[in-house]
Chains A and B, each alone.
Chain A
Amino acid sequence: MKPAVRIQQEDFSQDEEIRALQASSKRMGGIATFLGCARDFSEGREVSEISFDAYGSMALSELGKLRSAAIEKYGLLDARIVHRIGTVKGGENIVFIAAGAEHRVAALEACRWMIDELKQRVPIWKKETTPQGDAWVTPHP
């Protein structure tokens, strides 16, 4: 089975990640997921692709801490986080987060918390390629 936290160039399978999550416990009654995708339009400009740069070792370590913190904070049975780097085209997947808990509330809240925290804590940067040129993305709240 693939590690629960990964940073990778290649696309991921949501089904595979959810199956891996489910395999960790039969007590799981709720799974919440977040899928972040590359938009082809941003700030009034067409975006053909997005390139990601990351402080790889730190980003992986921060994702691992984030997963552990979410499991503890929300009493999850398991959680998985996969983030792509390299170049991603409009419409393609960027990040997948899955939280599994006995009940839905913990799963939903943990999933929301993890993506919000990821944006604050994990050293990854995106650059959009547009007809007007390339631009590093200013984070959204």
Chain B
Amino acid sequence: MIKVLFFGPVAERIGNNALQVEHRPGLRLQDVRDQLAAQYPQAFEIVCFAAANGEHVRDLSLPLADNSEVAFMAKFSGG
């Protein structure tokens, strides 16, 4: 399984802080994003950044190993 985390405004729009997506061979970060964006279009309207296993990811073609932790995040507003 892939653990998908949400925070702040994205979590609020999804109504949840975490979801699970089934892993399959060849699964890419983009596939997870596409699947969830179709289910939660309003939340993904504000998604600007993605992370895998706690690291920023710019290239969403990144292959995901089983048990990966990913996050789709809105623009940050710390500080």
Which A residues are closer than 8 A to B by beta carbons?
Answer: 36, 52-55, 57-59, 61-62, 83, 94-95, 115, 118-127, 136-139
Partner of B76, one of A57, A115, A124: A124
B9 within 8 A of A: yes
Query: Is there an interface contact between B78 and A118, defined as CB atoms closer than 8 Å?
Result: yes
CB pair B12–A136 under 8 Å, yes or no, is yes
Give the chain B neighbours of A138 by CB distance below 8 A: 75, 77
B14 within 8 A of partner (CB): no
Q: Output the nearest chain A residue to B8 by Cβ-Cβ distance.
A: A125
Q: B11 to chain A: which residues have CB within 8 Å?
A: 53
Which residue among B11, B73, B77, B78 has the maximum number of chain A CB atoms within 10 Å of its CB? B78
Provide the residues of chain B in CB contact with A120, threshold 8 Å.
76
* Extra A-B contacts (13), CB below 8 Å, given A53-B8, A83-B78, A123-B76: A53-B11, A55-B7, A55-B54, A95-B78, A118-B78, A123-B73, A124-B78, A126-B77, A126-B78, A136-B8, A136-B77, A138-B77, A139-B75
